[in-house]
Amino acid sequence: MAINFGSGILPNPKCEICETEIKPTEKLIVEKHTMHISCFKCAFCDVKLSVGACAMEPNLLERFGPLFFCADHMLISPAEKKEQILRKGHKEKGKKRQM
């Protein structure tokens, strides 16, 4: 559903994690990245995250988009994170997911 302001219609934003439309009641913004509340989970173990108790990997942002990690996985090296992310099947930005 879009929001109507006068003569213009603003579409709902898309989630930067799953790339689908976000309804206003499902919207979360973390470190300037917009996503579904349900998509804010560890990229490795899928545990639900809390703001302030997780970390984003900036070295992988351009290739994979925003990926967040729980306390158990945030200290893994960027190279190992990349390897695990590819193994798990995360898609690269602009490419279709391969499972």
pLDDT in tens, 15-72: 999 999 999 999 999 999 999 999 999 999 999 999 889 999 998 998 999 999 999 9
Is a pLDDT exceeding 90 seen at residue 80? yes
What is the structure's pLDDT at 25? Answer: 93
Non-local CB neighbours of 31 within 8 Å, separated by 6+ positions = 56, 66
Quote the pLDDT of residue 2.
Answer: 61
- Is 45 found in the same domain as 5? no
Domain count, the chain: 2
Instruction: Give the pairing type, strands 68-69 and 55-56.
Output: antiparallel
Q: Based on the fold, state whether residues 87 and 47 are members of the same structural domain.
A: yes
pLDDT on residue 31: 92
Q: Range of 68's domain?
A: 41-91
Q: Do 48 and 26 belong to one domain?
A: no
Same domain, 25 and 63: no
